[in-house]
Amino acid sequence: QKEVEQNSGPLSVPEGAIASLNCTYSDRGSQSFFWYRQYSGKSPELIMFIYSNGDKEDGRFTAQLNKASQYVSLLIRDSQPSDSATYLCAATGGGSYIPTFGRGTSLIVHP
Amino acid sequence: GAGVSQSPSNKVTEKGKDVELRCDPISGHTALYWYRQRLGQGLEFLIYFQGNSAPDKSGLPSDRFSAERTGESVSTLTIQRTQQEDSAVYLCASSLESFAEAFFGQGTRLTVV
A5 part of contact set with chain B, CB < 8 Å: no
Using a CB-CB distance cutoff of 8 angstroms, which residues of chain B are in contact with residue A44?
Answer: 43, 91, 104
From B22's Cα to the closest Cα of chain A, the distance in A is 16
What is the structure's pLDDT at B98? 82
Torsions phi, psi of B49, nearest 5? -115, 140
What is the structure's pLDDT at B1? 53
Instruction: Indicate the pLDDT class of residue B97, thresholds 50, 70 and 90.
Output: confident
Are residues A44 and B43, on separate chains, in Cβ contact within 8 Å? Answer: yes
Q: How far apart are CA B78 and CA B90, in angstroms?
A: 11
The whole-angstrom distance between residue B106's C-alpha and the CA centroid of its chain comes to 11
DSSP 8-state symbol, B81: S
What percent of chain A clears pLDDT 70, i.e. is strictly above it? 99
Q: How far apart are CA B30 and CA A14, in angstroms?
A: 42
Using a CB-CB distance cutoff of 8 angstroms, which residues of chain A are in contact with residue B106?
Answer: 42-43
A43 part of contact set with chain B, CB < 8 Å: yes
What percent of chain A clears pLDDT 90, i.e. is strictly above it? 92
From A38's Cα to the closest Cα of chain B, the distance in A is 11
Are residues A42 and B56, on separate chains, in Cβ contact within 8 Å? Answer: no
Closest residue in B to A98 (Cα–Cα): B48
What is the structure's pLDDT at B52? 87
Q: Which residues contact B54 (CB under 8 A, 6 or more apart)?
A: none
pLDDT digits (tens, 9 = 90+) for B4-61: 999 999 999 999 999 999 999 999 999 999 999 999 899 999 999 998 899 999 999 9
pLDDT digits (tens, 9 = 90+) for A4-32: 999 999 999 999 999 999 999 999 999 99
Question: Beta strand B88-95 with A54-58: parallel, antiparallel or unpaired?
Answer: unpaired
Instruction: Closest CB to B101: pick one of A42, A46, A100.
Output: A46
CB B101 within 8 A of CB B32: no
What is the structure's pLDDT at A2? 78
Residues of chain A with pLDDT below 50 are none
Rg (CA), chain A: 13
Does residue B70 register a pLDDT over 70?
A: yes
From B105's Cα to the closest Cα of chain A, the distance in A is 7
**CA angle (A8, B103, B23) in 5-degree steps:** 110
Does residue B94 register a pLDDT over 80?
A: yes
